[in-house]
Chain A
Amino acid sequence: MIRLFIILIFSGIILAGPNDALFKASSAMKAGMYQEALSHIAIAQKTDKNNADLYRMKALLHEALDESKPALSAWNDCLKYSKDKFLSSEAKIHIQILTIE
């Protein structure tokens, strides 16, 4: 039984890839650990650099941490890579508000 448990743990560690970072980011976000979520998103973005949804996630986290400049930068990237009308409009609203600040 203990062997099986050890095998399961090790296989989990071995099979955990970079995409695992997003799951960790999502969990950290839900737990309110925004700084940690940001570090996981940074890892996930290494393999998915043009994902507008990831930039939105990052921007919302920076805003929640009162970090206006990185939030603005992330929204600009979100707008740059977004192909969705609604997401682009959301990015524009956030850019407008953050620019007022």
Chain B
Amino acid sequence: MKKLFFVPFFLLTISCWNGPAVNHSYDFTTVGSIKINHVNDHTYMPGSGEIVETSLSHNFLKYGFDVNEDLPGASRVSIGTGNQALELSCIITEYTDSELIIVPYHFEDRGSTSTTIKQSAAASANTDKAETTSSSTTKTDGGAVSSGSKIDYTRARVAIMLKMRDIDSGTLVWANTFWYSSLELHRATDACVKNAVNQVRKLFK
């Protein structure tokens, strides 16, 4: 009976899990540096690899790490005083600068009601009394309801897949995917990489 409850719960947990994959037996405190591998271009966007690679170095530097680029195309990030070295690989899974977004909207003209009140007072010369007359007019506009219309705009979307492996043992120690959207491609790239580097940084805290 217990198995009957456990199996669906386990499957549900697996299907909903989209967090990072971390090798919990790996000791991240022994890491001294991370070598950033060359990032290949996305199939449809020449130059995208260099942009992401530069953004990785830039963001590591921004977070206060020392970045060494002694060899062209091979950045090395200093993490701590440990002896172990990790290798960071990045694959660009999406690099789109014009993804079409459809915005469906509902428009409702609720109509209006306006009431005009006319009031006049006339004083009679023979008597001390004043006569007051008033009239009101109400206009109602039923309005109109329309729905199902839509507009469109384009936005940029960048998605990357990162993985880190121990250079000596070849063990995969961490992997995760990230994506970000923006109206501008450079902003989407920077925010996506920034989020990734921030997650990597947390491993060494």
Chain A residues within CB distance 8 Å of chain B: 17-19, 22-23, 25-26, 29-30, 34, 44, 47-48, 51, 53-54, 56-57, 60-61, 63-64, 90, 93-94, 96-97, 100
Contact = CB atoms under 8 A, between A and B. Distances in A.
Contacts of B183: 29, 34, 60-61, 63-64
A60 B155 contact: yes
A33 to B, nearest CB: 12
A68 B117 CA distance: 49
Interface size class of B (residues with CB under 8 A): 20 to 34
Nearest to A64: B183
Contacts of B47: none
A25 B153 CA distance: 10
Interface of B: 101, 103-109, 146, 149, 151-155, 179-184, 187, 191, 194-195, 198
Contacts of A26: 103, 151-153
Listed residue (B149, B183, B194) with the most chain A CB atoms within 10 angstroms of its CB: B183
Given A64-B187, A97-B180, A97-B191, A17 B107 contact: yes
B187 A63 contact: yes
25 contacts: A17-B107, A19-B105, A22-B151, A25-B151, A26-B103, A30-B153, A30-B154, A34-B183, A44-B105, A48-B107, A54-B105, A60-B155, A63-B187, A64-B184, A64-B187, A90-B181, A93-B180, A93-B195, A96-B195, A97-B180, A97-B191, A97-B194, A97-B195, A100-B194, A100-B195
A19 B107 contact: yes
B153 A47 contact: no
